[in-house]
Structure 1
C-alpha cells in the first residue's frame, strides 16, 4: 500500500487543487450552501476515517436527547437500500448501515435517517409530522451543500491532520486549510493522562483561529463485554478471537494487550460485509470479541450468537462541562 501511494504521488497536487478550488467556490458563494432554521450539528474529519465519529455522535445524543427531539442523518455506507430511509421496527444494519443501526438500537426516542443527499434527508426529516428539534449530521464535513450551524472537526491524537497529506499519498480528503470551517476541534483517542504541555503543543501545531474551540478526548472502555444473552467480565476472558471491521483497530488491540489478555486478531476492512464462508469460519471459534459496530452486522447470524460479544466504548471529553455548555447553548 505504501509503495502504491508513493507511485501515485504525482497525482496529489491535482487532488489538492481540485478540492481546494471546490472549497474556495463554496467559501465565496459561487457554489451555494443551504441553511436551515433547525439547529444542525455536523461531525466529521479531514481524513478518510478512524477518528471516532460514531462515539462522538453518541456523546452528542446523550447530551441532547433527554431535552430535545434528536435526529441523526448519515449516508448509510454499504446499505442495501437507496434514497431516504427512516429507521423503524424493520430496520437492520443492512437496510440503514451498521453505524446508524447502532444509534437506532442504543437510544430510544431518537430518529435515525440515512440519505446520501443530505439536503434531501434534512427536508424529509423536517416534513415529518413530528420533526426533530436538532439534527446531527454524521460524517458530513465535506458535504458543503448543507451549511451546518455548528461544525465539529475530529482529528486523532496519533495521526493528526498536521502530520498528514491529501489523497492519494496521504489520507486527507481535502487540504489542511479545511480545518478553518470548524467551530470546535476535538483531538480524539488521546492517551490517558495527556499533559498540559502536550495539549499546548497540539494547540500550536493545529494552527486554529481565535474563535475556534479545542477539546481533547479519550476512549473509555467498558469493564464488561455484552452478548445476546449474557454479559462477561473483560478481565475474566480466556483466549478469544478479536474480529474487527473498522478503520483503525490499533487502539483497541493495544488496549486489550495491555490488559494482559490473550487473543488472535482477524482484521477486515471498514464496514466489511461478511461473506457466508467467513461466517462459517467464525462460527468455529470458541469465543469472539468484536466492536459494537461490527456486532450490528455479525449478530444477524444465528450460528454466532452464543459465542459473540462486543466491548462497549465511550468518548470522554477533557473539560467536559465547557464542551457540554457550548453544545447546549447552540441548540437552545
Structure 2
C-alpha cells in the first residue's frame, strides 16, 4: 500500500456510496431506463479508460457495417462543443472528440457517427437525420443507464482487471465491482499471446464472483503496418520520436520499441489537447536526431494533422500505428450471432 492511500479511503467511500445509490434507483425502477425500438449495443467498462473501447467498437463496425446501416453514438469526451452533433465532412476532433473523429475518418463511407451527452435525446435525433439506421453502437455508455441496451458488453484489461481494482480515487473504477453484473458479455482485453489455461480459469472464476451469467472472452491487440498520417511521404524514417496521449501507453511503446528505433517518448494524458508549444517541443526533439520522424497512435494522429499545426510539422514525417482487436473466430461468431438475434427480434434483417 502506498503511504497516501489511507487518505483516499473516505473519498472513495463517498463516491462508492453515491454511485451505489444511483444504481439502486435504476434497479428498483425509481429512475427509468428507456429501451428503444432500434437495436442498441452498449460497449463500456467499469474503469476510467484504457480498456480498448475504440478498437472494440471498430471491431463491431467491421462485423456489422456490410450488412446493416450502423451508427455510433458517444459522449464525445474532450470536444469543444456540446449537445448533439452528427459528423460530416466539416467535422474535426475539436467538434466531436478524438475517438469519434478517428472512427469517422475510418468508416465515414459506411456508417454514421454522432456525439451527444444525453443519449436519450441523441438516439431519436440520429433516427430523424438517418432514418435508414438499423443498429446503434453506444460507445462508453455502460454507466449511462437512462438507455437500456439490448446487449451490454463490458471490457476490462488483462493487466488491471476490474476485480483487482477499487473505486476512484483509491483506484480507477467508476462504480463498484458489482456493476459488472449488468453485462451479458465480458471481454478481457490486451491479453498476452498465448495466455495459459490456468490463468484463464483464474480470471473466469474471479469474474463469476460478480457475474455468473455473462459470456467471457479473452482478446489481444494486433498492430498493423505504419500509416502515413499526412499522406505525402512514403519513406519510413530510421528513428522516431514517440507521441501518445492515451490512458495507458505501455503496450503501444513496447510494440513500437520492438520494431523501430525510438529516441524519445512524449507521454501525455488521455485525450490530451495539443497546443503549439507542445508541437514545437516535439519538432525540436525530432530535429535533434537525423532522419527522425513522429510515431503516434491513431487517436493522436487525428489531432496532430490539424491545420493549425501544419506549418510546424511540414518537414516532419508523421506515422501512426493502427491497432485492432485480435479475437478467436468462434468467439467473434458468438458475439455476432448474439447481436443478429437482437436485430431480428426487433424486426430488422440483413
- Using structure 2 for the length normalisation, give the TM-score: 0.89
Contact kept, 8 Å, 1:64 with 1:328, in 2: the verdict is no
Matched residue pairs, number?
329
Structure 2: distance between partners of 1:35 and 1:3: 46
**CA contact under 8 A between 1:126 and 1:132: conserved in structure 2?**
yes
Map 1:182-201 → 2, pairs under 5 A? 182-201=183-202
Partner residue, 1:251: 251
SS at match of 2:129: coil
Tell me the alpha carbon deviations over residues 264-318 of structure 1, each in whole angstroms, 9 at most, x when there is no partner: 1111111111111111222332300000000011111213254111000101113
Other structure's SS at 1:258 match: helix
* Equivalent in the alignment of 2:289: none
Counterpart Cα distance in 2 of 1:87 and 1:78: 15
- Does residue 4 of structure 2 align to residue 9 of structure 1? no
- TM-superposed CA distance for 1:248, in Å, is 0.4
Runs of at least 4 residues off by over 4 Å: 2-6, 230-233
Correspondence for 2:343: 331
Whole-Å separation in 1 of the counterparts to 2:262 and 2:126: 46
Separation in 2, partners of 1:39, 1:270: 30
Structure 1 unaligned spans of 5+: none
Normalized against structure 1, the TM-score is what? 0.94
Aligned pairs for 1:110-259 within 5 A: 110-128=111-129, 130-207=131-208, 209-229=211-231, 237-259=237-259
- Which shifted more, 202-211 or 113-122? 202-211
**Could you say which residue in structure 2 is the equivalent of 1:316?**
326
Cα distance, 1:215 vs structure 2? 0.8
Distance 2:170 2:293 in 1: 38
Q: Is contact 1:291–1:312 with CA below 8 Å preserved after alignment?
A: yes
Q: SS in structure 2 opposite 1:246?
A: coil
Aligned-residue offset at 1:145: 0.7
Tell me what 1:278 maps to. 278
Q: In structure 2, how many angstroms separate the alpha carbons of the residues matched to 1:251 and 1:179? A: 25
Give SS of 1:127's match: helix
* Aligned-CA RMSD value: 1.8
